[in-house]
Amino acid sequence: MTREAIRARIEEIGIIPAIRVSSANDALFAIETLADSGIPVAEVTMTIPGAIGLIESVARKDPGLIIGAGTVVNLETARRCLDAGARFLTSPGLDSEIVEFAVKHDAMVFPGALTPSEIMAAWKAGSDFVKVYPCALLGGPSYIRTLKPPFPEIRMIASGGVNQQNAAEFIQAGAAALGIGRDLVNGEAVRRRERDWIHELSLRFLQIVREARGSLAG
């Protein structure tokens, strides 16, 4: 799958689950359950023990699943993640070296950025999306809505504080996709291996995105 195809697929789904759990086994359960529920995308954060090995295992087992690396904060980690088969890199903040490294290796990348200056710098460096994080602290959907008129060409991912109550507003405000953590990958559901729980949450968020986009089209 090319970089452009991955970018289009992520935008089509509209949801990037952030997997931040306590073990690789928990993360694998979450990834597989999300994929079975219609969200074949997962951001494996580097805070998970054995995260890079997990990325390598999943990438080898299911090439159709868009597995990426999150909380990438240095070039060495970025290099190891791409070598393991990560389809995208993302970070909590803007590190232009990581963005340039990903672009050089034709890998998709979307760094975290919050201020207009950071968003401009991230896009100028070659980011596929810009993850506006943590956008809830600056007004949530209203902040995305404020940013879109001066930056209409920048594909923004709303991340940090996205939940069922405000997800539709983020899409209607102009977010291309949503980065969702524990409100989708519920820690208790993962611990108890409650597939139906995560399946239901997945369907709810997918429906929210679909209906919000439908309202814009209407």
d(C-alpha 99, C-alpha 122), whole Å: 8
Reported as a single tens digit per residue, the pLDDT across 27-84 is: 999 999 999 999 999 999 999 999 999 999 999 999 889 999 999 999 999 999 999 9
**pLDDT at residue 218 above 80?**
no
Residue for token digits 């990560």?
86
Do residues 59 and 35 lie in contact, with contact meaning Cβ atoms separated by under 8 Å? no
**pLDDT at residue 166 above 80?**
yes
**pLDDT at residue 1 above 90?**
no
What pLDDT does residue 204 have?
98
pLDDT over 70, % of the chain: 100
What pLDDT does residue 193 have?
97
CATH class of 3-213: alpha beta
Encode 89-103: b = buried (16+ Cβ within 10 Å), e = exposed. bbbbebbeebbebbb
Residue for token digits 């089509």?
12
Residue 156, helix vs strand vs coil: strand
What pLDDT does residue 196 have?
98
